[in-house]
């Protein structure tokens, strides 16, 4: 159990590091695409402030999803998912249950599904096939919530990508200036690449875990 908790801590640190890299890199791209040209533009040039602001936002979201896909591949998501299954999850049992048999929680024991344990934070019931988590540990709860369903992260990214593509396509239809058409077409091309990778990863993960459930 201690090994599992150490692995969760290491994966949590690595995941947070990747998220910081995604945020920094995407904001840096948006800065160079939008703010730098505006800052060094001559006073005689006319800038459509609304379009530039919108373009910077679209570039930032597009780069954010692109870096997420590159830094969170299907293999990495699978590692996080399997670690969350080993970690398990505790649900706090509310109310008085003095007559219910329970065991004192031990950090050296792996608890089975449905086990009742007494912890300093209260009475808890084990969820998941195996449970090595610490009852009431908020970091363990968040890790299990995000990664125990292998498609959760991919589905979130797919929703963002589809919304982004739809919005950019509407803007492309309404665009009349050639510069707007070119910039939107380039962003759509990047988003189609992201969409392809996400759909492929989702298909592979879905097929893999369906076969896994059948074997279980």
Say what the pLDDT of residue 95 is: 64
What are the backbone angles phi and psi of residue 51, rounded to the nearest 5°?
A: -65, -40
Neighbours of 78 (CB within 10 A): 17
Look at residue 216 in the predicted model and tell me its pLDDT. Answer: 47
Helix, coil or strand: residue 93: coil
Q: What angle do CA 14, 70, 171 make, to 5 degrees?
A: 125
Q: Are 205 and 74 contacting, i.e. CB atoms less than 8 angstroms apart?
A: yes
What is the model's pLDDT at position 211?
61
- What pLDDT tens digit does each residue of the chain (216 aa) get? 788 999 999 999 999 999 999 999 999 998 988 778 777 777 777 777 788 889 889 999 999 999 999 999 989 998 999 899 889 888 888 765 556 677 888 888 888 888 888 888 888 888 878 888 888 888 999 999 999 888 899 999 999 999 999 999 999 999 888 888 998 999 999 999 999 999 998 988 888 777 656 544
Q: What residues are paired with 91 via a beta bridge?
A: 125
Give 54's Cβ-side CA count (13 Å radius): 13
Q: Domain limits of the chain?
A: 2-83+145-215, 87-144
Structural tokens at position 51 = 């379009």
CA atoms within 13 A on the CB side of 86: 14
Provide the pLDDT for residue 1: 74
Alpha-carbon span 139 to 135, nearest angstrom: 11
Cβ neighbourhood burial of 51 (10 Å; 0-12, 13-18, 19+): middle
- The answer to whether the beta carbons of residues 180 and 51 sit under 8 Å apart is yes
- CA 199/CA 162 separation, integer angstroms: 11
pTM (2 d.p.): 0.83
Q: Tokens 């449970």 sit at which residue?
A: 131
Closest CA to 137 of 92, 100, 101, 104: 92
What Rg do the C-alpha atoms of the chain give, in angstroms?
A: 23
Q: Output the pLDDT for position 213.
A: 60
């Amino acid at each position: 159990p201690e090994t599992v908790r150490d692995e969760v801590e290491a994966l949590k640190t690595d995941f947070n590091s990747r998220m910081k890299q995604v945020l920094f890199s995407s904001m840096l791209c948006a800065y160079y695409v939008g703010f730098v040209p505006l800052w060094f533009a001559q006073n005689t040039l006319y800038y459509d402030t609304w379009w530039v602001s919108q373009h910077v936002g679209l570039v930032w979201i597009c780069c954010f999803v692109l870096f997420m896909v590159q830094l969170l591949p299907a293999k990495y998501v699978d590692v996080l998912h399997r670690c969350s299954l080993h970690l398990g999850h505790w649900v706090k049992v509310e109310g008085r249950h003095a007559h219910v048999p329970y065991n004192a929680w031990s950090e050296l024991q792996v608890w089975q599904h449905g086990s009742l344990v007494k912890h300093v934070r209260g009475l808890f019931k084990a969820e998941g096939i195996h449970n090595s988590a610490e009852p009431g540990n908020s970091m363990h709860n968040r890790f299990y919530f995000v990664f125990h369903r292998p498609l959760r992260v991919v589905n979130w990214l797919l929703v963002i990508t589809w919304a982004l593509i739809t919005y950019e396509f509407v803007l492309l239809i309404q665009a009349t200036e050639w510069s707007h058409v070119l910039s939107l077409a380039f962003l759509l091309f990047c988003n189609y690449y992201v969409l392809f990778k996400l759909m492929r990863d989702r298909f592979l993960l879905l097929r893999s875990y369906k076969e896994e459930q059948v074997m279980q």
